[in-house]
Amino acid sequence: MKTTRNCVEFILDGKILRLNFAEESAIKPTTTVLNYLRSIHGHKGVKEGCGEGDCGACTIVVAEEGIRGNLEYKALNSCLLFLPMLHGKQLITIENLAQKKGQEILLHPVQQAIVDEYGSQCGYCTPGMVLSMFSLYKNSPHAQEDSIKLALSGNLCRCTGYKSILNAAKIACSKGPEDHFTNGEDAVLELIHSIHKNTDPILLQTDDYQYYIPFTTEDLLHYKSGHPEALIIAGASDIALRQTKKNELLPNLIDISQLNDLKFIQEDHAGFYFGAGISIEELRDFSEDRYPALFNVLNVFGSHQIRHLATLGGNLATASPISDMIPILLVADASIRLISIHGQRELKLEEFIKGYRQTDLKADEIILMVRIPKNERITFINTYKVSRRKDVDISCVNGAFSVELSRNNRIDDIRIGFGGMAAQAKRAAITEAFLSGKQWERNVIEEAMQLLYTEFQPISDARAKAESRSILAGNLLMKFFLDVNYYTKTQADVI
């Protein structure tokens, strides 16, 4: 077993900050970045609104080294981020944006645009709003209205109104990405490299907590086999709520957010291979051209901040009945590969999901990757999410569908997956069997809709009544039918 360290290091205000949790009584490993910043001098601009990832008042930016060796600037919800997750990264708060030149304060172009366009009133949302705009300014200069709206979808303002904020973003982004951060990037990368030189695992130990950070899969699996009770966290967008909302103590955690071995996207003639540690945002970016059916649902997954935190593995391991990933992966016939110190095993996602928030994961296993086979026979595949509002909302019902049609319009194979219709996301096996071999015609689909009403017995809750869920499921099938017909007609017109 390698030696371990008991501190984390990150960059704040241009310097490396070293936090030793055994010596600092005011912080614990599960202290959120929000609470930490609110407790120190000079960084209290960050605000708490909801404490659960919905409002964006707590947005900060974290810069880390990307695959091309440059700095990537990610807006994140600091209310969901545990302090050790900053290890080896640069933390940027609202106080870091403006520059002091002698007696003069030079606002960052994003701040200046907010002032010029009257984009702030009470100011409570403004630091978070500005930091979301700052990450857009750095990553997507010349961003257009759609990208701006998407980037700001995780920031709520209850007084200014969004028009002036959107105008400010448009003006600011037309000037990016050069600013005083650009000049300092080499120095920051040097500091990041010096932190990452040491790849010994970190073990933060206090009287009440053990927080382990491995940097290799080997270290992770060794530690997990000796501590099967320890809880894995990846993006913590699900787990953090257990502390912030339910006041649970999380005494024994393994943080896999630094594990680059799990962050890969590969494609060959047979399929797509997604590492469990890739973020939903990375998957969204990749799927835009390569897998549009996946992109459609990832585009309305949480907010920009949540998608940067949330991982693919975390989504599947929660086995939530309203997960946005599971229905499309069921329909795409995805397999999931698990790894432990004893080796690897692969099973179909359908076998992995066992019930309401239950999976086949053993105590010493972790999810390594997801494999989606390529299937040339599929005529059309798509996914649809229905929620009470478009952005930052959990699905009432989401449906994924794929169909293989023969030349004479017969259904050779159809796969239908739903979230929000049962205790677990699952396929509509009875309706699929009914449709298989039938003609692809409206009256057949209408019969199948009736069957769907009886196949599932959804529950009523705050999001939707049982009856509306049943109606939605049927209507989504009809929508898919119409979309397939439109798609096949346009394809035929092209040919």
- Can you give the binding site for ligand FES, defined by CB under 6 A? 48-51, 53-58, 77, 79, 120-126, 157-160
Q: Which residue in 92, 110, 259, 258 sits closest to 171, CA to CA?
A: 110
Please state the closest distance from residue 465 (CB atom) to ligand FES, in A: 28
Helix (H) or strand (E) segment spanning residue 112: helix 109-116
Number of Cα atoms under 13 Å in the Cβ half of residue 249: 7
Between 79 and 300, name the residue whose CB sits nearer to ligand FES. 79
Contact 29, 204 (CB under 8 A): yes
Please state the closest distance from residue 233 (CB atom) to ligand FAD, in A: 4
Please state the closest distance from residue 436 (CB atom) to ligand FAD, in A: 29
Partner from ligand FES, ligand FAD, none binding residue 120, C-beta < 5-8 Å depending on class:
ligand FES
Spatial distance between the Cα atoms of 418 and 98, rounded to a whole number of angstroms: 48
Spatial distance between the Cα atoms of 224 and 227, rounded to a whole number of angstroms: 5
Between 205 and 299, name the residue whose CB sits nearer to ligand FAD. 299
Alpha helices in 332-426 (DSSP H): 349-352
Cβ-closest position to ligand FAD: 314
Structure tokens at 271: 């399929």
Query: CB neighbours of 41 closer than 8 A, spacing ≥ 6?
Result: none
Please state the closest distance from residue 349 (CB atom) to ligand FAD, in A: 14
Partner from ligand FAD, ligand FES, none binding residue 160, C-beta < 5-8 Å depending on class:
ligand FES
Partner from ligand FAD, ligand FES, none binding residue 366, C-beta < 5-8 Å depending on class:
ligand FAD
Between 160 and 431, name the residue whose CB sits nearer to ligand FES. 160
Partner from ligand FES, ligand FAD, none binding residue 405, C-beta < 5-8 Å depending on class:
none
Residues lying near ligand FAD in the complex (CB under 6 A): 52-54, 231-239, 276, 280, 301-302, 306, 309-311, 313-315, 317-318, 323-325, 361, 366-367, 392, 394
Tell me which amino acid residue 36 is: Y
Distance of CA 495 to the CA centre of its chain: 38
Cβ–Cβ contacts within 10 Å for residue 231, how many? 13
Sheet holding 411-419, edge to edge: 380-386, 397-405, 411-419, 426-427
Spatial distance between the Cα atoms of 221 and 363, rounded to a whole number of angstroms: 11
Structure tokens at 340: 């432990």
Please state the closest distance from residue 299 (CB atom) to ligand FAD, in A: 10
Please state the closest distance from residue 41 (CB atom) to ligand FES, in A: 21
Please state the closest distance from residue 395 (CB atom) to ligand FAD, in A: 7
Partner from ligand FES, ligand FAD, none binding residue 79, C-beta < 5-8 Å depending on class:
ligand FES
Between 156 and 435, name the residue whose CB sits nearer to ligand FAD. 156
